[in-house]
Structure 1
């Protein structure tokens, strides 16, 4: 996608050509030249839009960019929806550590401090100062999505935002253990170590608890907001040391909330082993395709992070019947998230909460990416 500076430079060049040409040409020749220039300009604009659709993913997924937007003053009058969620006076952002580069800018771990006493571990999603005007508006739209939709205990939530001064940022609560997939892999290798050095393990009952929380969040998205997640997987779940979890990776839901649909090209980029059969034929996302992916997530949890569809005897997987109900070939035969939530809550009462889940095989990250079908 061209930068705003390049866009205006190209636009100015086009305008200068239109001014000079009438002095040199006349009649039909002038009309032909203007048509050619206009088509060239329009093709450049369309390419910019396509580039926006191809932009890379980040922790919260891809966001479709308003490349044609014109926004004069991003720090102008406060948005009424975001005004009440601005970072309060007295709070300072300290100890930034960049985790990765996201679509809008750096994603960092940080600490919020007030009066040297109150402290909150947070994750910051910042807006780069080099972004285009359209990206500024997209970032503001993303913040509004968090305000309007992410009000469920199983969805990652925005604590505050900062839009009235630069850099603009989304401030989210941090989860102690971070990404669930990484925690499953640590458990696979012997246990999860917290910041104090204590070792945690995952039991069958923990799996039921975490799965119920995820199902509850997906039920909320589908039932309350008629939204899909689109990439239900362990890599899009965050976990705290008390085994509470939050769903992240809400990029497709945020696009659907804004536009009413998920771009087919975006939906098709989810690794195929997490996609339902109907999505492989036609990249449309639905609640039932999310249910299929939820079955894959259950498999990830009970195998402590193994890639889907390896050579594993199904009889050795706990509560395999719940997974198979998610993997009904015909979408209409799959349960809803409400049904799954009831099954998981019923099964939890008899689940083993004393013994840690164990895995006898070893996991190699490069091998995982290969078997899971995820580009390295």
Structure 2
């Protein structure tokens, strides 16, 4: 073979390589791109199916709220399905009340064509709730259905989990928050229908008996604690019937069997028992101590506990022999009940069954005529500061 033939053969081979290799590389690239596109399509389909599952229970809002509700519930819960707000019912004349733990709380009228409207309170869930708070809110709904079957516990009428936003519809108590009523009754005598009542020691016994009954039901029937027994967590009706609210800690305990320390720590220090200030577990007897604080609030028309002690100083100031002074117009029987609630050692405090007996025995001697007088002259802003309640 001469050199000319060999040159032409090598040149043809090189030309073939220049053509084949790029073709192979292009083919491989197309295959890789096809695989990437296929996997992307599959992922989109899976995400869509996941969203549809969530959407079926909580609606579009669940999908739009930054994915908070993803995988929170795969299917409608039969407990809540029975309590969904029926079609044809509407919430009208809404007015904001305050911001709750989960979101805004408002009042309004529950209306249905051809029927009288009913005043209600609506607790809504914010779209900014964390996944844990989402679960807590759903569990709170179930708690209302399964546990709150007592006259002195807040009553859930309906819930909404398929409309935006998820919400709980509660029976309204005409006077609303007890702490607000206590402080309002300082200034205004009941001169017209619907005004704040003039509260007597006899009234205090009546309200205290109802609160104790609700707490006995929680602790005795369900082995649950309230965790924040205070006037701000009691609702009052015009006939002076009361219902306990603020049951978030009890709802979590009902679900998990324990009280979350971080959530419990949000309760202001002045309603804590001594063992709770030391970081011990919260028990029924811790609620009993707080019940004594509630009695003080009632008898002073909403004064803050330990008015001469800064909240941050309470753990170091509170000692075995320290007690708040007996409120003005507080009879000896009720004073003894308060002292019993404030026994330093938790086992020495009465249980709620015993408290009911003590209150029932003392109510006949209670003053039913003399209106109570306030224990301080603090403004609302000053009250919050002295009580250690965040604003």
Pairwise TM-score range, normalised by the shorter structure? 0.7 to 0.9
Contact 1:176 1:240 in 2 (8 A): yes
**Structure 2 unaligned blocks of 5 or more:** 1-65, 309-323
Distance across 1 between alignment mates of 2:101 and 2:272 = 23
Aligned match for 1:148, one of 134, 138, 146:
146
Distance across 1 between alignment mates of 2:252 and 2:336 = 34
Q: Does 1:314 align with 2:326?
A: yes
Q: Displacement, 1:313?
A: 4.3
Aligned match for 2:204, one of 203, 207, 213:
207
Per-residue deviation, residues 297-323 of structure 1 (Å, max 9, x unmatched): 000001111111236742743321110
SS in 2 for 1:200: coil
Describe the shift of the 1:92–1:273 C-alpha distance in structure 2 as closer, same or farther (beyond 3 A). Answer: same
Distance across 2 between alignment mates of 1:82 and 1:359 = 44
Aligned match for 1:128, one of 123, 126, 129:
126
Distance across 2 between alignment mates of 1:137 and 1:333 = 37
Q: Does 1:167 align with 2:165?
A: yes
SS in 1 for 2:385: helix
Contact 2:176 2:235 in 1 (8 A): yes
Contact 1:228 1:285 in 2 (8 A): yes
Q: Which residue of 1 aligns with 2:260?
A: 263
Match runs of 1:1-376 below 5 Å: 71-72=70-71, 77-129=75-127, 131=129, 135-191=133-189, 196-198=193-195, 200-310=197-307, 313-314=325-326, 316=328, 317-318=330-331, 319-359=334-374, 361-376=376-391
Distance across 2 between alignment mates of 1:138 and 1:326 = 31
Describe the shift of the 1:179–1:315 C-alpha distance in structure 2 as closer, same or farther (beyond 3 A). Answer: closer
Distance across 1 between alignment mates of 2:282 and 2:375 = 35
Computing the radius of gyration from Cα coordinates, the structure with the larger value is 2
Per-residue deviation, residues 14-48 of structure 1 (Å, max 9, x unmatched): xxxxxxxxxxxxxxxxxxxxxxxxxxxxxxxxxxx
Q: Displacement, 1:104?
A: 2.9
> What TM-score results when the alignment is normalised by the length of structure 2?
0.73
Per-residue deviation, residues 77-114 of structure 1 (Å, max 9, x unmatched): 43211121111232111111122233333211111111
Q: Displacement, 1:263?
A: 1.6
**Structure 1 unaligned blocks of 5 or more:** 1-66
Describe the shift of the 1:136–1:299 C-alpha distance in structure 2 as closer, same or farther (beyond 3 A). Answer: closer
Distance across 2 between alignment mates of 1:257 and 1:102 = 20
> What TM-score results when the alignment is normalised by the length of structure 1?
0.75
Q: Displacement, 1:135?
A: 4.6
Distance across 2 between alignment mates of 1:163 and 1:143 = 10
Q: CA RMSD in A?
A: 2.5
Distance across 2 between alignment mates of 1:134 and 1:369 = 29
Q: Displacement, 1:192?
A: 5.7
The alignment covers a number of residue pairs equal to 308
